[in-house]
Amino acid sequence: MCTTCGCGIGQTLIAGHAIQRPRKPGGEMHYRVRGEGMTHVHPHGHIHDPIDSGAGPAGTHAPGMSQARMVKIERDILAKNNDYADQNRRYLSAHGIFALNLVSSPGSGKTTLLVKTIEALNGAQPLAVIEGDQQTDNDAARIRAAGAPALQINTGKGCHLDAHMVGQAMQQLDLQDDSLLLIENVGNLVCPAGFDLGEAHKVVILSVTEGEDKPLKYPDMFRAAAVMLLNKCDLLPYLEFDADLAVEYARRINPTLRVIRISATSGEGMPEWLEWIATGCRNTVAAKQLVA
Amino acid sequence: MHEMSIAESVLQIIEDTARAEGYNKVKAVWLEIGQLAGVEKESLRFCFDVVTRDSVAQDARLEIIETAGQGWCMECACNVAVTARYEPCPSCGGFRIVVTGGEEMRVKELEVE
């Protein structure tokens, strides 16, 4: 287990079932087409290397002499995750699906905001939700109660969703063409910043009950996000939180960050957020038609 | 960030290359880690030792090359050194800096036999 954040492997569950976690990269991903059964592939990568004593740099072997050599690799450490993310992104764009990765600390009001967003869209916009939490199915149940299909990924000891988990969840969800996919990441402002899931944008949620300087304390996440939702703004009169300062700090990290002041409870800022989503959905569908 | 996931990804790259290139023992590994990549080097060393146990890279020496953070200051319209994301531009004191380098995390080279 990681001594920094406690993350580990082997305990990831999607809707309560163990994830298929290949040690080696798989072949093409196969998604369930609406109305069809599940398809799957068995990747087989066998390379049998003979013992070749002449494979050293000198092309020969002398007893007792070292065969040490240098191998240039130059590979990105997160390349495997990025490959899965690219597969997800290709699938999403080919199907006109606008995907958002919602990230924040625990307790910023992500799930409540999602529930209110789903209620406001009120069936007018087809959507699905992937919920990431270490344990429990509570959040997916809340989303389903709000009327949207939702799948829960339990990361066990893991501190973030990765592109492979999301790809598997996408296969299990019956994603509609030209829809919206909302991915609620594990509540954590550190690790999810580094893991591309194939989403169009990361949306970071900061609530006014946290500190104004959180963007400075956790800069990677605010840098990776395209939008910051400043949530629980209805509580501002009761707090000493300086909203302008929080926005200034966030823009120090990310000068192009779009900020929407919002309250899931009072509805303040919701029209701007919904309009931003609608624009994203329209553009994604238009881009798909352009390619087709 | 989460050094255990990173150490596991490094080992996967080493094992994939071992199958392709046909070596049985890795003596040293060179990583290139940017100053702004969010990786704690000491934690990564610890995790690397743990995940490489009983693998081709057991007891391999880990060399970490740190690359400097770089950014583009929109006010000064020039490249500046960035040591942390929240730091101002060293010449104008502004914060309109776009990071252009120092975020890389790469496996560069291996010494194998």
Per-residue pLDDT of chain B (113 residues; tens, 9 = 90+): 578 889 999 999 999 999 998 899 999 999 999 999 888 899 999 999 999 999 999 999 999 999 999 999 989 999 999 988 888 999 999 888 888 999 999 999 999 98
The SS3 assignment for A180 reads strand
The SS3 assignment for B38 reads coil
H helical segments located in chain B: 3-21, 41-51
A77–B105: do the CB atoms touch at under 8 Å? yes
Q: How confident is the model at residue A21 (pLDDT cuts 50, 70, 90)?
A: low
CB < 8 Å to B27, chain A: 68
Q: Mean pLDDT over residues A188-206, rounded?
A: 94
Q: Mean pLDDT over residues A34-63, rounded?
A: 41
**Chains A, B: CB contacts under 8 A, how many?**
124
B47 at A interface, C-beta within 8 A = yes
Count of residues making up chain B = 113
A70–B22: do the CB atoms touch at under 8 Å? no
Find the CB nearest B108 among A73, A216, A219.
A73
* Strand A227-231, strand A98-104: pairing: unpaired
DSSP secondary structure letter of residue B68: P
pLDDT above 50 for A16:
yes
| Complex ipTM over 0.85 | no
pLDDT > 90 fraction of chain A, expressed in percent and rounded: 64
Q: How confident is the model at residue A20 (pLDDT cuts 50, 70, 90)?
A: low
pTM of the model: 0.79
pLDDT above 80 for A57:
no
- Residue A256 vs residues A4, A221, A228, B74, B96: alpha-carbon distances, Å: 30, 14, 11, 11, 9
Distance CA B26, CA A130 (A): 40
User: Residue A10's pLDDT is what?
Assistant: 56
Which tens digit of pLDDT belongs to each residue from A208-251?
999 999 999 999 899 999 999 999 999 999 999 999 999 999 99
Structural contact between residues A83 and A75, judged by C-beta atoms closer than 8 angstroms? no
